[in-house]
Amino acid sequence: MRLAKFLATAGVASRRASEEIVRAGRVSVDGETVIDPARDVGSGDEVTVDGQPLSSAAPRRIVYALNKPAGVVSTARDPQGRPTVVTMVPQTERLYPVGRLDIDTTGLILLTNQGELAHRLTHPSFEVEKTYRAVLGGPALHERALRSLREGVELEDGRTSPAHVRRVSADTLEITIHEGRKRQVKRMCEAVGHPVRRLERVRFGPLELGELRQGRWRKLTEAEIEALMAASGS
């Protein structure tokens, strides 16, 4: 396996970023600094990054996309015994839910064996966008409410960043945010007079929910994982 691919598979960084790490002289193979990302490494080679060893049997990156149904909690375990997102996908190793959806919110949630990737995709400082489709109560949507959401609204924990908002129908909109505060979309809509009746996440970074049915999952391709890592700046 080429060295850059090995580093990417081990979750160090995306393949492109791994190439730069190698060229910067930060990687050693069997005690020798290597600056060629195409250098082959085998099962018996000892690879270190910034002096820290990586196992040559490093686990392959795994990311699942799941269309979460209502009634399922977005944690690895639940003390109340409710079904969790982790129990809905194959459990060959420890998986991290990438962020959370409320128990009554449906749609796209990711699960991965790469804790650092999960952190980068959810921490507000990396500004990875998520898009939600919200069915609203209250009066028909007016431009004033849409404008307020686009400009940012005042919540009890501070003003939100501007959001991308698209009206889908008289009572439905799509809203894209990158902050990830607790119940943020619901609170934003309530703040402009439209309580959320139904909420679904339809996009996470570059990844769309598409035709994946509720309760079903699929494993992401290496190209999709690379795109997620690029979206998180890794």
Query: 193 and 177 in contact (C-beta within 8 Å)?
Result: no
From CA 227, how far away is CA 234, in angstroms rounded? 10
Tell me if the pTM is above 0.85. no
pLDDT category at 18 given cuts 50, 70, 90 is confident
CATH annotation of 129-204: 3.30.70.1560
Fold for the domain defined by 63-124+207-231: Alpha-Beta Plaits (3.30.70)
What is the per-residue pLDDT across 106-132, written as a single tens digit (0 to 9) for each?
999 999 988 778 888 888 888 899 999
At residue 178, the pLDDT reads 92
Average pLDDT over residues 91-103: 87
Specify the domain boundaries for CATH 3.30.70.580 within the chain.
63-124+207-231
- Closest Cα partner for 225 from 113, 131, 101, 124? 113
SS3 155: strand
| Positions marked active-site | 102
**Helix boundaries (H) for 127-207:** 143-151, 184-191
Superfamily name and number for 3-54: RNA-binding S4 domain (3.10.290.10)
What is the per-residue pLDDT across 132-165, written as a single tens digit (0 to 9) for each?
999 999 888 889 999 999 999 999 999 999 999 9
Average pLDDT over residues 73-83: 91
At residue 53, the pLDDT reads 83
